[in-house]
A and B are shown apart, each in its own frame.
Chain A
């Protein structure tokens, strides 16, 4: 299923939605559609209800953590450079510009159609940051199969799905406060005995060893 005509069709039928095609450079060629949070439910409802599309089966809902990182890119900038005989000359110079991305969390939906036997159409939704603006609309009212999977993303990543019928932790216990699948999660320090310890395990073991010795 090519995405370009699908994108135009959705934009025509769901006014105001902002879609973007995220290309997939690997040989699998499974490109995805980035949808915005305000119109996500409307886009999903259109994909579900349109007779020729009929995406009635949401197969997989995944959470992904993209932490903040530094992007350095080479930019050509006009700068004043010292020229000959002390005068200042404007010249084009290549400069390395570093920007810091905020980092965000992402939810990816894989949609198929059991009726028409086509697919997959991959939808992506991104949160604004990883700290407190982590709300996304829940697509459980459209596809019930997203129920447990969105709860799992809430549990392990911390994305809050607005509109979910029963959003609570599913895999960890209720009193747990961390979101373990995030990339910056630090495990509780636990002494692990290994006969040939090395790297991290050795460092932790030596810490415990010096405490007990």
Chain B
């Protein structure tokens, strides 16, 4: 429909929209996160929901304690190998459509604790992540920015076609493999359908003086 006509009708009190816009507008304006904080980033997440940086005005009105009632999992904090199976289980228990925000350096790639023997180097090794928010910890404003980026991403998801989101495709998996505790490490150490090791030309980076790949 013509934009000018839409505005004209709007002034008369008649609103015209498409099903996709309405559907996405409803979903993006009421994303309910799961009450799931692991470490220091969780405190900044709590501060974001408090009076000064109110996250509730963006639609995240209630943080649900149960994964069955939540849309969004904000993985805030370091994921250790001991905790990783529980995180994946929680993700599997969330109903579609579900989103993951990886908040903080530890959830993105292990962060400052990357060398640890018990630290999982990023939650995207086992579950698909939609938004990454860097920082250690990211400021509440950064979390709000990430939240708004997620809202924009949801807004742009089409209802039909090949690029429609995962929950509208019948054969896409919505649950992912839960790692088991092995003798020395988690088994499997990553999920190959979800995580692909970045293939950067590392040999050049190591051997000559250019430094970067």
Cβ-defined contact, A178 with B184, below 8 A: yes
Task: Give Cα distance in the complex from A190 to B202, angstroms.
Answer: 16
**Cα(A209)–Cα(B212), bound, Å:** 16
Tally of chain B residues near chain A (CB < 8 A) = 26
> Is residue B157 contacting chain A, with contact meaning CB distance below 8 A?
no
Residue of B nearest to A200 (CB): B115
Residues of B within 8 A of A173 (CB): 81-82, 181
Q: Nearest chain-A residue to B211 (Cβ)?
A: A196
Rounded to whole angstroms, the CA-CA distance of A188 and B110 in the bound complex is: 15
In the complex, the answer to whether B82 meets A190 with C-beta atoms within 8 Å is no
Question: What distance in Å separates the Cβ of B158 from its nearest Cβ neighbour in chain A?
Answer: 31
Question: How many residue pairs bridge A and B at CB < 8 Å?
Answer: 60
B102 at interface by CB-CB < 8 Å = no
Residues in B with CB closer than 8 Å to A195 are 200, 212-213
Closest chain A residue, CB of each to CB of B197: A191
- The interface residues of chain B, by DSSP majority, are classed as loop
Q: How many residues of A contact B (CB 8 A)?
A: 27
Q: Chain B residues near A76 (CB, 8 Å)?
A: none
Using A180-B117, A197-B206 as known contacts, say yes or no to A175 and B197 having CB atoms under 8 A apart.
Answer: no
Q: Which residues of A contact B181 (CB under 8 A)?
A: 173-176
The distance in angstroms between the C-alpha atoms of A195 and B213, with both chains bound, is 8
A172: interface (CB < 8 Å)? yes
Would you call A177 and B184 a contact (CB within 8 A)?
A: yes
Q: A175-B183, A176-B181, A196-B212 are in contact. Are A188 and B189 (CB under 8 A)?
A: yes
